[in-house]
Amino acid sequence: MTSQTNRIAPNAQALAELVAPPASSLMSRPEFVWGVATASYQIEGAIAEDGRVPSIWDTFSAKPGKVLHGDTGEHACDHYHRWSEDVDLIESLGVDAYRLSIAWPRVMHADGTPNRKGLDFYKKLLTRLAEKGIQRFVTLYHWDLPQYLEDRGGWLNRDTAYRFAEYADLVSRELQGLVTGWATLNEPWCSAYLGYGNGHHAPGLANTRWATQALHHLLLGHGLALPLLRANDPVARCGIVANVGRGTTDGTTEADRIAAQRYEVQHNDWILQPLLKGSYPEELFKLWPGTEPLVLDGDMEIISRPMDFLGINYYFRSNLRSDGGTGFVDVPLKDVERTQMGWEVYPQGLEDLLRRFKSQYDRLPPIYITENGMASDDAVVNGEVVDEQRMRFMKSHFAAVARAIDAGVDVRGYFAWSLMDNFEWAFGYERRFGITHVDYDTQVRTLKQSGRALQAFLALRRGS
């Protein structure tokens, strides 16, 4: 410890230690970016204000049985009105960066013209963050497609890729100079597979062939947007955010081993290979025969345009076995630690995947862990939320990232999911991912112990 850090009260040091990565790790260095993340539909509320048009999640969540307890994003965390105090909260954490997303339905009218009031909201927010010295990582599409585009076929319609590029062009012209890093899409796997493949997410369609076509159009939109973002905002870095999953098997046969491998192809390489190698993995179509998307000449060159960073979102590992055919079945392991989502706590999976991506993809850009975190059934007791499992989760995942960095993976930052409890899609408000507790009746925010521990670690790291 330096003499500067001795200014921290001993209890702050003990608190920091609850989450801190290994002291020797590059993650403690000033250039490593520590942040917190959110997404528009999950926190903003105000779905009918200032000219915002409906999104597919407004439509989907209004349908009975689609979201747990019938929850919707109507009010969420009311961030649209409370953004200023939320920025103060972010500042109080001492993070270097905030990752947020722009709501497409808020900033563009159905005729493609700008919605000034919506744009002004993000201008105010980003300006305030910049004034406070907080870096801004902005995702353009975190699943809230305008409903009028879904009515024309959504991501099954190739035209949506071009509409997305128009939207990216508008937003990056309007917000240029205010953004540190642009991510085109958040987790296109989820948009395509959960939205069009199994229907668990909006728009709720279920056909694997549609999922591969939707994914192709999402990635095409990403590739079309990249040069526009670069031209409009040359200083900002540009990339994409992918969710990744670790798949292993406790089975003993070669078929089980292949099943686990195919799970990773389906979860990871389906997205990463087109982006980083310009082709879809052949193994994917062994898993899903006959689902090849329609690809036009030149599409794969557009999709595989170079990026400045890759965002990786990691949550859990799955145990797979062969389904007796070309596919896999998920056979949950017994006696492993799980979160409120039922997801296994498996930090080693993050290290394994980061190392694999480095060895597999020559063109792997610098990586940010753009999401990592867990849900727990947190409650405020005597003014405090003691989320002990989350602190262990954070510490073990920080250590996994540190090991990957030691092994040579270029990881530049880590964003905790999430800044605050929010609308967890099909699980509504029941699943609490925040390092800040939100009381949805009063909108009171209470920093959980995990948030206080991160805050203490970051203060120690700064030596303040």
- Told to check if 313 binds ligand IFM by CB under 6 A, we report yes
CA 378 to chain centroid:
21
- Considering only 44, 150, 187, 264, the residue that binds ligand IFM (CB under 6 A) is 187
Nearest CA-CA partner of 16 in 455, 437, 434? 455
Cα 55 to Cα 203: distance, rounded to the nearest angstrom: 10
- Told to check if 44 binds ligand IFM by CB under 6 A, we report no
The pairs formed by 297-304 with CB atoms below 8 angstroms and a separation of 24 or more are 299/216, 299/220, 299/223, 300/274, 302/220, 302/223, 302/224, 303/219, 303/220, 303/222, 303/223, 303/274, 303/275, 303/278, 304/223, 304/274, 304/275, 304/276, 304/277, 304/278
Between 321 and 445, CB nearer to ligand IFM? 445
- Told to check if 182 binds ligand IFM by CB under 6 A, we report no
Between 144 and 174, CB nearer to ligand IFM? 144
Closest distance to ligand IFM from the beta carbon of 106 (Å): 17
Nearest CA-CA partner of 444 in 400, 379, 399, 397? 379
Between 321 and 437, CB nearer to ligand IFM? 437
Q: Kindly report the backbone phi and psi dihedral angles of residue 213, in degrees, each rounded to the nearest multiple of 5, phi listed first.
A: -70, -40
Nearest CA-CA partner of 195 in 229, 233, 227, 160? 160
Closest distance to ligand IFM from the beta carbon of 403 (Å): 23
Give the number of residues in contact with ligand IFM, rule: CB under 6 A: 9
- Enclosing H/E stretch for 329: strand 328-330
- Considering only 167, 417, 429, 457, the residue that binds ligand IFM (CB under 6 A) is 417
Asked if 246 and 312 count as a contact pair (C-beta separation under 8 A), the reply is no
- Told to check if 371 binds ligand IFM by CB under 6 A, we report yes
Between 96 and 371, CB nearer to ligand IFM? 371
CA 397 to chain centroid:
16
Closest distance to ligand IFM from the beta carbon of 311 (Å): 11
Closest distance to ligand IFM from the beta carbon of 41 (Å): 8
Nearest CA-CA partner of 275 in 220, 313, 315, 195? 220
- 150, 344, 371, 424: the catalytic one is 371
In this structure, the strands spanning 436-438 and 445-447 are antiparallel
Q: Using CB under 6 A as the criterion, what x/- string covers residues 433-452 for binding ligand IFM?
A: x-------------------
Closest distance to ligand IFM from the beta carbon of 243 (Å): 6
- 174, 187, 264, 344: the catalytic one is 187
Closest distance to ligand IFM from the beta carbon of 58 (Å): 16
- Told to check if 61 binds ligand IFM by CB under 6 A, we report no
Per the annotation, the verdict on 74 as an active-site residue is no
Between 114 and 204, CB nearer to ligand IFM? 204
CA 26 to chain centroid:
23
Between 256 and 424, CB nearer to ligand IFM? 424
Cα 342 to Cα 385: distance, rounded to the nearest angstrom: 21
Between 121 and 417, CB nearer to ligand IFM? 417
Cα 228 to Cα 164: distance, rounded to the nearest angstrom: 11
Q: Using CB under 6 A as the criterion, what x/- string covers residues 98-137 for binding ligand IFM?
A: ----------------------------------------
- Told to check if 401 binds ligand IFM by CB under 6 A, we report no
Q: Kindly report the backbone phi and psi dihedral angles of residue 295, in degrees, each rounded to the nearest multiple of 5, phi listed first.
A: -120, 125
- Considering only 304, 344, 424, 434, the residue that binds ligand IFM (CB under 6 A) is 424
- Considering only 12, 36, 39, 420, the residue that binds ligand IFM (CB under 6 A) is 39
Cα 135 to Cα 130: distance, rounded to the nearest angstrom: 7
Between 61 and 313, CB nearer to ligand IFM? 313
Q: Fill in the amino acid letter for 128.
A: R
Cα 260 to Cα 240: distance, rounded to the nearest angstrom: 25
Q: What angle, rounded to 10 degrees, do the helices at 208-232 and 159-174 form?
A: 30
Per the annotation, the verdict on 187 as an active-site residue is yes
Q: Using CB under 6 A as the criterion, what x/- string covers residues 201-240 for binding ligand IFM?
A: ----------------------------------------
Nearest CA-CA partner of 128 in 192, 185, 82? 82
Between 167 and 423, CB nearer to ligand IFM? 423
Which residues have a catalytic role annotated? 187, 371
- Which parts of this chain interact with ligand IFM (CB under 6 A)? 39, 42, 187, 243, 313, 371, 417, 424, 433
